[in-house]
């Protein structure tokens, strides 16, 4: 089954404790991205990657890191999480063509205390 998976789905952590949210897709998509969803703000792009070893900042990259060592994986790293990073995070992937449908993962709800 074609899908985007994220782990963990739920995470409660404390300020400053490094964490990684994994994202994996099995559709051989070139393009992957991370979004955060906050009430009243919609979804905002954090980082995206056009292909292996190619990443770029989205609209709200501060406090996040990403890597793309393999085509299928695109982990989101919070080196020192803070309470303002409490949010719902979505990973997405698509073929690298403009206008391609983006397939979203199920979301990861992160709470930073």
Partner 1 sequence: AQKVTQAQTEISVVEKEDVTLDCVYETRDTTYYLFWYKQPPSGELVFLIRRNSFDEQNEISGRYSWNFQKSTSSFNFTITASQVVDSAVYFCALSGQDSGGGADGLTFGKGTHLIIQP
**Interaction of residue 24 with partner 1, rule CB under 8 A:** no
Q: Cα–Cα distance between 13 and 24 in angstroms, integer?
A: 22
Member of 13, 77, 88, 111 binding partner 1 (CB under 8 A): 88
Please report the sign of the dihedral spanned by the C-alpha atoms of residue 74, residue 56, residue 54, residue 65. negative
- For 65, other C-beta atoms within 10 Å of its C-beta total 14
Contact 92, 103 (CB under 8 A): yes
Q: According to the binding rule CB under 8 A, does residue 50 interact with partner 1?
A: yes
Least separation in angstroms between residue 21's CB and partner 1 is 15
Q: Does the protein bind partner 1 through residue 63 (CB under 8 A)? A: no
- Residue 35: which H helix or E strand, with range? strand 31-38
**Candidate residues 1, 10, 69, 101; the one interacting with partner 1 per rule CB under 8 A:** 101
Instruction: Give me the residues that bind partner 1 (CB under 8 A), please.
Output: 31, 33, 35, 40-45, 48, 50, 58-59, 88, 90, 92, 94-104, 106-107
């Amino acid at each position: 089954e074609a899908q985007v998976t994220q782990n963990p789905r739920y995470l409660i952590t404390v300020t400053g404790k490094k964490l990684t949210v994994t994202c994996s897709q099995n559709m051989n998509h070139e393009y992957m991205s991370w979004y955060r969803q906050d009430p009243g703000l919609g979804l905002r792009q954090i980082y995206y990657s056009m292909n292996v070893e190619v990443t770029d900042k989205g609209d709200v990259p501060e406090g996040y890191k990403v890597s793309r060592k393999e085509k299928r994986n695109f982990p989101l790293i919070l080196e020192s999480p803070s309470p303002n990073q409490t949010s719902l995070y979505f990973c997405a992937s698509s073929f690298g063509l403009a206008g391609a449908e983006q397939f979203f993962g199920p979301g990861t709800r992160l709470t930073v205390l």
